[in-house]
A and B are shown apart, each in its own frame.
Chain A
Amino acid sequence: MLVLIIVSVAVHFAALSLGLLIFGPEGSRTEAFTDAVVSFAGLNISGQSLVVVGVSLALITLLHLFFERTLKGKALRATAVNRTGARLVGIGSHQAGQLSFALSAGIGALAGVLIGPLNTMQYDTGFVVALKGFVAAIIGGLASYPLAALGAVLVGLLESYSSFWHSAYKEVIVFTLILPVLAWRSMRSPHTDEE
């Protein structure tokens, strides 16, 4: 398992430098999908934010339907639970892995497209964003989409509030406060030895 993490980090480094080669070191911002601004309860919400929220909700629904209702989705879940058992009933574990990687990479790319108008993107901005997304996923227990979404909102709120109160220590606060959440999550999931 450790080797897989290391290999993925190695691929990350390779992909990062490919990004540097292709896109250059300067950052850029794209145009928003819509310039509309919606007024709601005294807040001005940009159309882009609405698109982001809307796409996220749509993705959560689609993913839930995929993994709950379709055969391919269930096959993926089966591979995650017991790889040998899944192979015994004819589910290709290699293909399952490829599919999940492709899906998550595609969703990541979509996220990048959506963030583009909101933040200046450089070739390496994705790493920190993905790290915070990983944190949010862990808060969701790596098992539940709504919880992961809630976790992301939590991380975002934490970050915004700490950048308001102590902007220099924003990252310190965010990453330190993750620890008790992790501890709580770890205690929630039963500690089973790997057979």
Chain B
Amino acid sequence: MDINSTFVQKALSLPRPRIAAAIALVVVLALPLTPVPGFWITLGNYIGLYALVALGLVLLTGIGGLTSFGQAAFVGLGAYATAYMTTTQHASPWVGLLVGLCVSGGAAALIGAVTVRLSGHFLPLATIAWALSLYYLFSNLEFLGKFDGISGIPPLKIGNIELISPRAIYGVIWVVVAVCIVLTLNLLNSRPGRAIRALAKGYTMPEAMGIHTANYKLLIFVIAALMASLSGWLYAHLQRSVSATPFGLNMGIEYLFMAVVGGIGYVWGAVIGAAVLTIVKSQLQHILPSLLGSDGNYEMLVFGVLLTLLLHRARSGLWPWIATQWARVRPPEPTVTAPSVAPVGYATLQQVDLPPRGSSLLEVRKVVKRFGGLVAVNGVEFKVNAGEIVGLIGPNGAGKSTMFNLVSGVLPASDGEVHFKGQRIDQLGARQIVSLGMGRTFQHVHLIATLSVLENVAIGAHIRGSAGPVAAALGMDRSEEQRLLYLAAQQARRVGLGEHLNILAGSLALGQQRLLEIARALCTAPALLLLDEPAAGLRLQEKNALAALLRQLREEGMSVLIVEHDMDFVMGLTDRLVVMEFGKKIVEGTPGEIQSNETVLAAYLGGVE
């Protein structure tokens, strides 16, 4: 994680640009009132339309990690819906908007249900497939005018004013863009926003934090489709006629270009990318014929070459590059901060009911896990009671992490049962298990490197909150958000990261990153904490601090199941030890008993034949 990205991330989300953004909006909206030639106003209209679609792509592809080449098809759905409703059905354009949003939303829900479950290369290919499918559908349906399309679409009407000229509709387009940007920024800076950011990290970590990845993927898919549909509606009433050509795969690819050039992971990148690409393309059409002669079509060639060069130099896009330069002038301040005193209602959030000390909490009954022919875990049986620390040790390859994954629901067991708080959990998913009260960390740290420590820890608070995407986008979740952030800050202080709350998680040392994971797991209010090698990478004092923390947790009634290789750490901390070798439990007992046990010594050091 280089220092440049540190600057970039902090620059991108500060309160000060709110003023700059407001000024920029005023300038943009005032443009048609100045004597700027109509060409630029029309260009501005199209930049706004494209920016809307690119915004959806930033959310879907840049932040959520789902590459989509097919947004143009949803633009088409919105455009054709309003075209059909306003011409054939003689409805008002606002009805056309409603119908378009419903059709696009419904189509996105259906298509998304299949598409978002695909992994790897299959996802972009699926988007290409249905984009082409929808395009050919538009071109061939009788009631949509086939390849001729629909013309004679009435203009938008606000009150009695008909918005016919490009200057008139310009204001509507850019106000819509501004509103969508604000809504998206609000959404990203909230509980659902953190869940969406976690999606790009894969499946295991978000699910282990209680985030329903499939639902959130579908959510961003539908949101992107709705924004594209909105763009299509505006396009239809700007252009006053629609045909299938602008809704094909070529345009879909271009939308993705715009988002990537602007900076796919950043909301402002959508606007910048749309503006840069549109202006460059229009200027190329002007300049190239006079430069290279008008007997050839050089625009695409120069365009492709320019794009390749740009991506070579500014791989993350233009907006991060701009923000880095700006950060040199004005170092950024952190944006997401926790309140310094406990907000209202925190007491109820903080209350965690732990089971009575000594009662049976976790029971692993003869659990078996087979990977094809390999038996990783072979009939292991042990118990963890409430309020004790149990260590799971063994040589490398003994199956300890697999055991963790079986207990926490990441892997299903091939045989045997796991009971937690009296309930059978071995066939449950990680999400259900974490809400029962089991938190965990991972052997390889799973953090979002571009978010701050506080925000990463707050991901663990996901199941403690309930704000949905609509409430978040409208900014109505602030009080709950304050409580969640305060909770996250408290847990971070507990593990000793209180001084580092606003530092990027990616710039922490590995040992501190492990502490962050523990803080994140603590946010889930666990009765049982599963720690996978928490002391790896910690120095002696940090290990002592961690041991003190774990003892403190035990005092409060929490149980800890810990996998560790550091024998000093484990022997001084745990109440009982379970030793595994080659997938089987070989011994169980107190640290003292284990240290002198012959079988254990043979397993670790080798026996004498």
In the bound complex, how far is the Cα of B307 from the Cα of A14, in angstroms?
10
**A179-B297 in contact (CB<8A):** no
**A171-B136 in contact (CB<8A):** yes
Q: For window 247-266 of chain B, which residues contact chain A by CB distance below 8 Å?
A: 253, 256-257, 260, 264
**B304-A172 in contact (CB<8A):** no
Q: Name the residue of chain A whose CB is nearest to the CB of B131.
A: A175
Using a Cβ–Cβ cut-off of 8 Å, how many residues does chain B contribute to the interface with A? 45
Tell me which residues across on chain A come within 8 A of B124, comparing CB atoms.
5
Tell me which residues across on chain A come within 8 A of B114, comparing CB atoms.
179-180, 183
Q: Name the residue of chain A whose CB is nearest to the CB of B310.
A: A10
In the bound complex, how far is the Cα of B66 from the Cα of A2, in angstroms?
10
**A10-B257 in contact (CB<8A):** yes
In the bound complex, how far is the Cα of B140 from the Cα of A179, in angstroms?
20
In the bound complex, how far is the Cα of B305 from the Cα of A176, in angstroms?
33
Q: Name the residue of chain A whose CB is nearest to the CB of B256.
A: A6
Tell me which residues across on chain B come within 8 A of A187, comparing CB atoms.
117
B382 an interface residue at 8 Å Cβ cutoff?
A: no
Tell me which residues across on chain A come within 8 A of B308, comparing CB atoms.
7, 10-11, 14
Task: Give chain A's interface secondary structure class.
Answer: helix
**A21-B301 in contact (CB<8A):** yes
**Contacts between the two chains (Cβ within 8 Å), count:** 120
**B130-A9 in contact (CB<8A):** no
**B300-A13 in contact (CB<8A):** yes
From B67, B129, B296, B304, give the contact of A178 (CB < 8 A). B129
In the bound complex, how far is the Cα of B140 from the Cα of A176, in angstroms?
15
Q: For window 324-372 of chain B, which residues contact chain A by CB distance below 8 Å?
A: none
**A175-B311 in contact (CB<8A):** no
Tell me which residues across on chain B come within 8 A of A183, comparing CB atoms.
114, 117-118
- Among the stretches A43-51, A103-111, A134-142, the one at the interface with B is A134-142
**B67-A5 in contact (CB<8A):** yes
B125 an interface residue at 8 Å Cβ cutoff?
A: yes
Q: For window 164-195 of chain A, which residues contact chain B by CB distance below 8 Å?
A: 168-169, 171-172, 175-176, 178-180, 182-183, 185-187, 189, 191, 193-195
CB-CB contacts of A1-28 with B at 8 A, as 1s and 0s?
Answer: 0110111011111111110110000000
Q: For window 415-456 of chain B, which residues contact chain A by CB distance below 8 Å?
A: 444
A131 an interface residue at 8 Å Cβ cutoff?
A: yes
B533 an interface residue at 8 Å Cβ cutoff?
A: no
CB-CB contacts of B575-605 with A at 8 A, as 1s and 0s?
Answer: 0000000000000000000000000000000
Q: A2-B260, A175-B132 are in contact. Are A191 and B203 (CB under 8 A)?
A: yes
Tell me which residues across on chain A come within 8 A of B121, comparing CB atoms.
138, 142
Q: Name the residue of chain B whose CB is nearest to the CB of A25.
A: B297
Q: A176-B130, A176-B133 are in contact. Are A13 and B202 (CB under 8 A)?
A: no
Q: A14-B301, A179-B114 are in contact. Are A193 and B129 (CB under 8 A)?
A: no
Tell me which residues across on chain B come within 8 A of A20, comparing CB atoms.
296-297, 300
Tell me which residues across on chain B come within 8 A of A9, comparing CB atoms.
253, 256-257
Tell me how far the C-beta of B423 lies from the nearest C-beta in chain A, rounded to whole angstroms.
Answer: 26
Tell me how far the C-beta of B409 lies from the nearest C-beta in chain A, rounded to whole angstroms.
Answer: 15
In the bound complex, how far is the Cα of B121 from the Cα of A14, in angstroms?
23
Among B115, B121, B137, max chain A CB count under 10 A is at B121
Tell me which residues across on chain A come within 8 A of B260, comparing CB atoms.
2-3, 6
**A14-B298 in contact (CB<8A):** no
In the bound complex, how far is the Cα of B122 from the Cα of A138, in angstroms?
7
Tell me how far the C-beta of A165 lies from the nearest C-beta in chain B, rounded to whole angstroms.
Answer: 14
B119 an interface residue at 8 Å Cβ cutoff?
A: yes
**A169-B140 in contact (CB<8A):** yes
From B61, B119, B201, B296, give the contact of A186 (CB < 8 A). B119
Tell me how far the C-beta of B304 lies from the nearest C-beta in chain A, rounded to whole angstroms.
Answer: 3
From B125, B137, B256, B304, give the contact of A182 (CB < 8 A). B125
Q: A5-B67, A11-B304, A175-B129 are in contact. Are A193 and B256 (CB under 8 A)?
A: no
- Give 18 A-B contacts (CB < 8 Å), ordered by A residue: A6-B256, A6-B307, A9-B253, A9-B257, A11-B304, A11-B308, A13-B300, A13-B303, A14-B308, A17-B304, A20-B300, A21-B297, A138-B125, A186-B120, A186-B122, A187-B117, A191-B203, A193-B201
Question: Can you name 14 extra interface pairs (CB under 8 A) apart from A14-B308, A17-B299, A20-B297?
Answer: A3-B311, A3-B315, A6-B257, A7-B307, A17-B297, A17-B298, A17-B304, A134-B125, A135-B125, A175-B129, A180-B114, A182-B122, A182-B125, A186-B120
